[in-house]
Amino acid sequence: MKKIELKSVPAARGMSTGVRIPRGQTLLQIGTAGTVWRVLTGAFRLERLTGGGQTVVHLALAGDLVGVEALCAEPYACTVTALVDSVATPEPMVGESALSATLAAALLQQQRQSLDMALMRSGTAPVRLGHLLGLLTRAFDLPSGGLDRKALPALKDMAQIIDSTPETVCRELTRARPALARQTPAPAPSAGLGAVMPFAPPG
């Protein structure tokens, strides 16, 4: 597990500071205890141990809560790792009303996350990948076409999320725009990938 770089940065959504978590670094470790965190920018993958190793069960985007088990005084049920360069902050909860509001938000969030994962595990590879790219656009609060190719997760991470292989992800991205091969995808209007979200043109 990589050590988090505890660097305060300006936070969004009315909060004063956040913690920058570079891509690939772990924010919360399964089995440990702590507080609830809120994602300010970026995206995290939540993984649980299964018979085959670590399995991605949810993605947490900007505005989402992670470590919600802490609301019930339980250890974290998932390892939470930054999928892209992200910022998160501990969630302040003072009083019963704040706790109730956070519990309600966590419930509604889980329903949406379950649907997102179902969409990223159903259909053809281009359709699944297109949905993931759309979520990443939302994670950075960008308009359609505004996602910078440099901000993308690693191929292996995208493949794990959509239940595919790095080779398949690379092939679909290359097919969308051959000039942006490897980890520089740019969807074109075909087979569902470009219909979801085009990339910003290379500079």
The domains found in the chain, sorted by start residue, are 8-94 (2.60.120.10), 125-196 (no CATH)
d(CA 84, CA 27): 12
Is the full-model pTM beyond 0.85?
Answer: no
Instruction: Name the stretches of the chain with pLDDT < 70.
Output: 1-16, 144-149, 176-203
Q: Whose structure tokens read 């725009």? A: 177
What is the structure's pLDDT at 145? 63
Structural contact between residues 170 and 184, judged by C-beta atoms closer than 8 angstroms = no
What is the structure's pLDDT at 195? 41
What is the structure's pLDDT at 93? 79
